Structures are given as structure tokens and as C-alpha cells.
Amino acid sequence: MKCKQLLVKGKAKSVYSTDVKDTLIIEFRDDITAFDGGKKDILSNKGNYNAEVSAFFFQYLGRNGVRTHFSTMLDPHHMVVRKLEMIPLEVIVRNIAAGSLVRNYPFREGTLLDPPLIVIDYKDDTRHDPMLNDEIIIALKLATPAELKKIKKMALEVNRLLGALLAAQGITLVDFKIEFGRRGKMVYLGDEISMDSMRLWDKTTGESLDKDVYRFEKGDVMAIYQKVAERITAPIKDLI
């Protein structure tokens, strides 16, 4: 299978059509950006680490009953996926108060959120991804009420599954962002789940193991991405 036509070039990934019906290839590039693209760099191998972790999570979630777009890896930075009609929502699940939740609301960083919070943003860089509510989502016809209900249920299930997997590795899943797409009446998990889209803290030291290292210059981001990718994917390698 080969990349045919570039369909979308995002900040860190490119999406290509292929010669196979309903099948796309996502290229995980080495670009890293933060603050709406205000800070950007190219870091060698970053795409591979994110692709490896995303593929690992999609396979794990798929085995546990979550419908995802993942098909297979072509090489370490090209993922073959099922084509979806993407829903322009950034669905964020938060287990611990951090990031914009702490900046925008009077939560103290590190506060446990039980039950977890689901926050949904409108995926639109030109508007800086404003937060939505159910009424706005329905009024804008971004998703139907049934899809929204399914999306929230799936987001909580992904949180439960990833939280358990990461906890077993000594990693706290603070929060993460996922995106969904539809095929007919079915909702699928799409996009990626990687260190770029999660907030992960070492359970023992509290050290950041995600893009916050890049955002806030907390250390050698590539050394941390490499270490965390090895840590996250280690069990499956042992199991196979």
C-alpha cells in the first residue's frame, strides 16, 4: 500500500489517501508544536515514538471492545487506518486537575476529579478550540444527541482502560484528548493517543512524561518520549 494524495496536513501529522478503498495512511511527522503553534520544533524520531504508542493503545483498546480506526503499521511512522468522517470535537477526559482547567477555573493543580470530568472543545485553531457544551454541539449539528452520548461513554471507557494500563506501569493518567469519527451510524475512535495528547505523571516522582516537558521546557523531551514509549509498550512486547 502506498500514500497517494495528501488530504490534510496538520501540525504534527499528515493524512494521505491510498489505493485501497476506505483506507488512509497517517504519517506521524517529527514536528512538535505547542500554544496553538506559537512554539514549534522538529525533533528527530518524535513521530516514531508517538506512532508506536498510539498503535499500542489502539490495539489494546480494540482488544477490549473499543471501536478504533487502527488497521496496521506500514513502518514506524506510517499508520494505516480506516477512513472516517471526522467529528470536529476534542474530547478531553480529566482525572486530575491540571493545565487549562487550573488556569481557567479555581481548581488546585493535582486535585483528584472523581468522577472524571469530560470537557469538549471545538476543534478549530482559528478560534483557539473554544469549549463547547451539549446544547452548542447539537445546535451546530457537530454530532447528534445519540452520537454525543456514545462519544462520552466511549471516552470514559477509554479512560478506564488506559488508566489501568498506565497505572500498572507506575504512570498516572492525568488527562488526555481524543477525537472521534463516524462511519454510517457507528462512532469510531480516530486520530492518535500519544505523549502529545496526554498528560502523564510518574506515580512516584510526579515527573511529567508528556508534551508538558516541551511546553514548559522541563527537560530533554526526546529522552523522555523515548523512555515513556519503552515503558508503555514493554508489556505487549513481553506478552507476544
* C-alpha dihedral, 199 to 76 to 161 to 10, nearest 10°: 50
Q: Least separation, in Å, of the C-beta of 12 and ligand 5GP?
A: 7
User: With contact defined as beta carbons under 8 Å apart, do 24 and 41 qualify?
Assistant: no
In whole angstroms, the minimum distance from the beta carbon of 124 to ligand 5GP comes to: 10
User: With respect to ligand 5GP, which residue has the nearer C-beta, 130 or 184?
Assistant: 130
Determine the residue with CB nearest ligand 5GP: 99
Cβ contact 74:23 at 8 Å = no
Residues 6+ away with beta carbon under 8 Å from 118: 91, 92, 93, 94, 152, 155, 156
Query: 92 or 143, CB closer to ligand 5GP?
Result: 92
Compute how many other C-beta atoms are within 10 angstroms of the C-beta atom of residue 22: 10
CB atoms within 10 A of CB 25: 21
Q: Which CB atom, from 27 or from 175, has the smaller least distance to ligand 5GP?
A: 175
Nearer to ligand 5GP, 18 or 55 (CB): 55
Strands 89-96 and 23-28: unpaired
Gap between the Cα atoms of 36 and 180, Å rounded: 21
Q: Least distance in Å: CB of 97 to ligand 5GP?
A: 9
- Least separation in angstroms between residue 19's CB and ligand 5GP is 29
Exposed e or buried b for every residue in 170-193, given b needs 16+ CB within 10 A? ebbbbbbbbbbbbeeeebbbbbbb
Q: Which residues bind ligand 5GP (CB under 6 A)?
A: 90, 92, 99-101, 129, 175-177, 196-199, 211
CB 180 within 8 A of CB 91: yes
Sign of CA dihedral 54, 213, 128, 77: negative
CB of residue 126 vs ligand 5GP: minimum separation in angstroms? 13
> CB of residue 92 vs ligand 5GP: minimum separation in angstroms?
5
CB of 151 to ligand 5GP, least distance (A): 15
- Which C-beta is closer to ligand 5GP: that of 71 or that of 100? 100
Give whichever of 18 and 224 is closer to ligand 5GP, judged by the CB atom.
224
Between 32 and 84, CB nearer to ligand 5GP:
32
